[in-house]
Structure formats: structure tokens, C-alpha cells
Amino acid sequence: MVAGRRVLIGVSGGIAAYKVCEVVSALAKAGAEVRVLLTEGAQQFVTPLTFATLSRHAAYTDEDFWQPVHGRPLHIELGEWAELMLIAPMTANTLAKLAYGLADNLLTNTVLASTCPILLAPAMNTDMWLQPPVQQNWTQILADPRMHGVGPGEGVLACDRTGAGRMAEPAEMLSYIESLFHTQGDRDLAGKHILISTGGTREFLDPVRFIGNPSTGKMGIALVLAARHRGAAVTLVHGPMEAERLQILRDVRLVPTVSAEDMHHAMKDELPKADWIVMAAAVADVKPAEVHAAKLPKAALPKELPLADVPDIVAELSRDKLSHQMLVGFAAQTGDIVTPALEKLHRKHLDAIAANPIDQPDGGFGSDRNQAILLDRTGRQVAVALGSKLEMAHQLYDFVKEMGAGD
């Protein structure tokens, strides 16, 4: 979603500036047009030459402020050129200037000369971040509809303090940038509560053996990010997942589960609070009929494994949901993906379903990319071409909105 798009990155003076190098490099490699401008403080940490090399374009400093570009002031040219701005790291000083509309350097003048969405990534010492004036400035700047915030997170800071103030990681900023290009900064899901399930379930035979599947939960993570970037409140019910995958999620209620039975109870508990429910989890179809408390010796493993059914979570949610709630399912298929997806859509009384192939290269389980055909009960079908799972998540929400759920 970033190829050919124009991204302007403002870097202010903080040690976290080194992380912005990865963002600039990733955007340039993805085909975006990237311009970087540095405050005087930023140049104490990363040189303009570094950003010029990574962006394949000259980086700008205050020394360039009054140098005309095609006869026009640079800050006007850059402000009108940018389709999106990222300010990272954003220091307490730059935050205060932006909150009160001050403009005493190239960066702050360019902000005032722009009209595009702006993503802000604060970074500072914990005590600095928690100061009431800083929090007030943060709240004030985010009241501007075109301002979007990512982070800060918690962790070990450069001052050896552990706490809030750590700048968002490059992956977080890149995913938010991708979302902003899709939405143009519109928080169209604000006021909605979206309940999402993701990951695979595990049905244990004994403490070390289980029936499972290759689901990594990446599609569900993308659904969470897309919903949060569009302003929705989100609850994520997930199967066993690597902790690192969940660290990118902020302001999200996480409900961990293991088995289909666990997920069944969690989804039913959370259902009344949701407006939209998206079942992206790869839930087991069966479980061992008998579960052993101690590990079975190899010689004692059954040659034939009796199986029992697990709860049909989607069917029960469909039965219990209220008239205003929208229930969306997933159908991971091989071969013909539409016929079984349509059958599942009607049999389980879903409002919509995403049929995605898991036998295509560079897609399906474990991949960062996916493709699908979206279907609803009216017979509408929309093909989602192979792309990032975040882009697919956005297209799924667009599809549901068009069903009238956004009214």
C-alpha cells in the first residue's frame, strides 16, 4: 500500500532516532517516495547523510529552511508534497510546539503548512512523559482529527529507567503508516467494539501431546491493528501464541485461551459487549475423547485415537447474537474455496465470510500475506488480491461497512 506514496518523516532530538533509520529504509525498499527533515537536535544522534542514503534523496535541515525550491519556500513545498507525515521520535519540546501551533524551525513550520494525516511517535524519559503538562499536550494534540499517536510503550530506556516512554518499534510505525494510506486518517470505526478470535487451539491427549494446526494468529493481529487504527475498541481472544506477536498491540483487551472449550467460554462471555465479531481463529474440529493427566509412555500410546466433538463456537455465537451485531467467519480452504464457504455462511447463519486459500504460494498459515473472496448473505462477492494481511483486514472491514453495519 505504500509503493509510489509520498511520506515525509520529521526527526527530532532523541536517542530513539536510530530506530527511524529502519522505517526510512523499509519504506524506500517498498517503493515509497521518502523525504526526511531533521531538527538541530536530531543531528546530534543521526546524520543527514545517513537518512539521505537510506531514502535515496537529500535530507533537509534548518540550514535549508530559507533555500527556495523551484522559487517556493521549502516548508511550503514539503507540506504540500506530503501525503503523510511521521514525526519520530517526538520529544517533549516538539510536542509542546505542535500542541500550541508554534513554528520556529523547519519541522514545525512544515507541520503548519501541511494538511495530510500526521503520525506521532513520542519518546522520552518516564518522568518526563508522565508530567501533567506533557500529558495535557498529548491529549490536546490528539484532539486534532489529522493527528494520530503510536506509543509510547514500556521497557528499558536509554537512561536505564524501566517504564513508559519507549518509542514505538519500527514495525508498529510501518503498520500504522500502511493503515493511514488506506483510511486517509478517517477513524470510521470509532464507537464500535470489535471482538476478534485468532490463533489455533490445542486439544491435549496428555501434558505433552495435542491435536493442533499451523495457525500463527497473524491474520487476527492484522485485524486488531486495522480496527484500532480506525478508532474501534478491540477485544482479542487468542489461542497459544508467541508473546512477541502480541507486543505490537496497544490498548487492546487480551483474553488468552488454549482449547476450543476455553475459547468457547471466552467468546460467549465477551459477546454481549461487541458490535462486530470476527472469527479468525483456527479452532479444532475434534479432541481426544480421553485426556491423560500424566505423560503416556510411547508404548502406551493408542494405535487408534478415539475422538470427541468440540463446541461449534461460530454456530453458537450466531444463535446468541443480537440483531445489531455482525458476525463474520473465515473459511480456510484448498481447491474450490467459494462453494464450501457459501455453505458455511448459510449453515451457520453468518453475516459474512472470508474464504481464503491455504494452498497458494506466499499466503495462508504463517505468511505475512493473504488473499480471499469475501461473501455475504445477499450473494455479494469481492475478491481481495494477494497482499499484506493488514490490507486484507481493512478490505474486510470495508466490506462489512458496506453491508450497512456502519449506519
Rg (CA), the chain: 24
CA 7 to mean position of chain CA atoms: 19
- CA–CA distance, 392 with 398 (Å, rounded to integer): 10
Strand arrangement of the beta sheet that strand 193-198 belongs to: 253-256, 233-238, 193-198, 276-279, 326-333, 352-357, 369-376, 381-388
Give the sign of the dihedral formed by CA 114, CA 118, CA 124, CA 128. Answer: positive
Please state, in angstroms and as integers, the Cα–Cα distance from residue 104 to each residue in 40, 59, 108, 123, 197, following that order: 11, 19, 7, 21, 48
> Using a CB cutoff of 8 Å and minimum separation of 24, what contacts does 241-247 make?
241/198, 241/199, 241/216, 241/217, 242/216, 245/216, 245/217, 245/218, 245/221, 246/221, 247/153
Triad 242, 245, 250: Cα angle to 5°: 130
Which residues touch 336 (CB under 8 Å, ≥6 apart)? none
Positions marked active-site? 159
- CA–CA distance, 374 with 234 (Å, rounded to integer): 22
Instruction: Write down the residue that cell numbers 455465537 correspond to.
Output: 317
Q: Which grid coordinates belong to 267?
A: 467468546
- CA–CA distance, 375 with 359 (Å, rounded to integer): 20
- CA–CA distance, 24 with 51 (Å, rounded to integer): 7
The answer to whether 171 and 258 are in contact (CB under 8 A) is: no
Classified as helix, coil or strand, 17 is helix
